[in-house]
């Protein structure tokens, strides 16, 4: 690999922050990260949807709480804390998944 290819590879990694996590967790976990995210998002959506339906504690049904529940669950299932500290993994996961989480929250809130 020549220097130009090496620089290109590094620059691609710098702009795609999720690779920071994918590179550091085991391959099997990295391969199923999106599947796990979708599964967790579905489970969390159902619980929040029930909360809206039955009018349970509105303070727990906020968008920020929804984001936290989804991302913390993902971090726990993949055991990311074992490979990366929260201050690195949290912002990367947040940036990568925030649009999908917000979109789902808006759907279930209706």
Question: Tens of pLDDT along 2-11?
Answer: 887 776 766 6
- C-alpha distances in Å from residue 75, one per residue of 16, 69, 89: 19, 10, 8
pLDDT averaged over the chain?
84
The structure's pTM equals: 0.77
42 sits in which H/E element: helix 33-54
CA–CA distance, 23 with 66 (Å, rounded to integer): 27
pLDDT digits (tens, 9 = 90+) for 34-71: 999 999 999 999 888 887 776 666 667 889 999 999 99
Structural domain boundaries enclosing 40: 3-109
The dihedral over CA atoms of 22, 24, 30, 34, expressed in degrees to the nearest 10, equals -50
**What is the spatial distance between Cα 16 and Cα 53, in angstroms, rounded to a whole number?**
38
Q: Give the per-residue pLDDT at 80.
A: 87
The total number of structural domains in the chain stands at 1
């Amino acid at each position: 690999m020549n220097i130009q290819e090496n620089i290109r590879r590094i620059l691609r990694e710098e702009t795609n922050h999720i690779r920071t996590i994918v590179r550091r967790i085991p391959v099997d976990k990295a391969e199923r990260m999106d599947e796990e995210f979708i599964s967790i998002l579905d489970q969390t959506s159902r619980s929040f949807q029930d909360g809206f339906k039955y009018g349970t504690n509105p303070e727990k049904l906020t968008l920020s709480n929804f984001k936290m529940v989804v991302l913390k669950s993902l971090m726990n299932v993949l055991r990311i804390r074992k490979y990366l500290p929260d201050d690195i993994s949290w912002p990367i996961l947040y940036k990568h998944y925030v649009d999908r989480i917000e979109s789902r929250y808006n759907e279930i809130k209706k």
